[in-house]
Amino acid sequence: MISSRICGICAVAHSSASLRATEAALGITPSEQTVLLRKLNLDGEMLQSHILHIYFLAAPDFLGVGSVIPLAETHPEVVKRAIRMRKLANDLCCTIGGRHVHPISAVPNGFTKLPAIEDLLVYKDKLEQSFEDLNASVELLKGVKLTVFEHPTEYICLTHHDEYAVYSGDILSSVDGITPLPEYKRKINEQVISYSTAKHAHTGQGSFMVGALARFNNNYDKLKPQAKQVAESLGLSHPCHNPFAITVAQLVETVHFTVAAIERIGKLAEQGIREEDRSYKIKAGQGVGAVEAPRGTLYHDYSYNKAGEITAANCIIPTAQNLANIEFDMRAILPEIWDKPREEITLTLEMLVRAYDPCISCSTHMLEVEFE
């Protein structure tokens, strides 16, 4: 419960990574129903977060207005569509967890209150109808001319043999393949930087990228066909090394997670939702949980004593992982735009940072919490 408070923007991801770390430490295996509901909740969060970024933060750049507020005057239909799409994703999360910002009912080994399948089926219909808005979003991005910038880096995300990984899997790097999740510290090093309260992360190779474009590059094969079609129609080649295309990859994922959510609700309807035994035993142990948050892989690592108290905790946050790569990109793009007017340089750099969709709320550290 405390863990979701690290970030209000991706509260479901924090809550899910935290539950997975606790379950790994205590040796709990949640039921198939619990896993399906958690994945559906993550689908919903991915949708609401990507739509927020595409429409509220990136679209004003694309449409040449200062921010989303003047956008509401110049392009009211665009803002109304964004609000409609976000509300749908938000309401889906509320139905599962009680609310999106800081879910209530998601606890170790299950849910304190289960959603009614009839309520979820309403969202299946609404998600199916949302393709009209998704197509309009594709048209919006089609008109955008992205800054041309080729800058390969190492791409890292979770990977899973069954699906486009979001809830579980091992760590996949575009450079050196798979690292088992419990050994995450072998792959990712966090360092304190004297000029920032946010730590920076590196691998043996240097800086790296996590998030929508990293997932698109690494797990392209597992994307739903509808999402691949959208990638093709938007000219997003695979792999893509242009960080400005992160927003495009987010829209591709928005289509993917819409399809995934529809399928998951279908599966839950087939199986029916029933009350399950949520009991578990407290024991000492250590465990790592990771999920794909909208902005990238999120790691939680807890140690428990035999009274069930957390004695040590470590969280590695997506934005902290991307920070070093943002600086890496900035150093590379500066010589290319050196001779442009000042305003253009500033805007290009701002758009580069914005493309990463940095989440300023949780990229500062608040760790080694001990609570009873």
Non-local (6+) Cβ contacts of 142 within 8 A are 233, 234
Q: Residue 347 has which token pair?
A: 């805007």
Round to whole Å and give the CA distance between 115 and 264: 14
Which is closer to another protein, CB of 336 or CB of 350?
A: 350
Give me the helix-helix angle, 246-271 and 225-233, nearest 10°: 160
Residue 243: CB minimum distance to another protein, A = 19
Which is closer to another protein, CB of 36 or CB of 312?
A: 312
Residue 195: CB minimum distance to another protein, A = 8
Which is closer to another protein, CB of 41 or CB of 159?
A: 41
Round to whole Å and give the CA distance between 180 and 72: 46
Round to whole Å and give the CA distance between 286 and 25: 4
Which residues of the chain form contacts with another protein (CB under 8 A)? Answer: 1-2, 5-9, 11, 48, 52, 56-57, 66-69, 72, 79-80, 83, 86-87, 90, 97-102, 104-105, 107, 111-113, 192, 194, 197, 350, 360-362, 365-372
SS3 342: helix
Residue 297: CB minimum distance to another protein, A = 19
Residue 344: CB minimum distance to another protein, A = 16
Residue 61: CB minimum distance to another protein, A = 9
Which is closer to another protein, CB of 164 or CB of 302?
A: 302
Round to whole Å and give the CA distance between 234 and 64: 20
Which is closer to another protein, CB of 87 or CB of 186?
A: 87
Non-local (6+) Cβ contacts of 161 within 8 A are none
Which is closer to another protein, CB of 102 or CB of 224?
A: 102
Residue 330: CB minimum distance to another protein, A = 18
- Alpha helix (H) ranges present in 143-198? 184-187
* 8 A C-beta contact, residue 45 and residue 100: yes
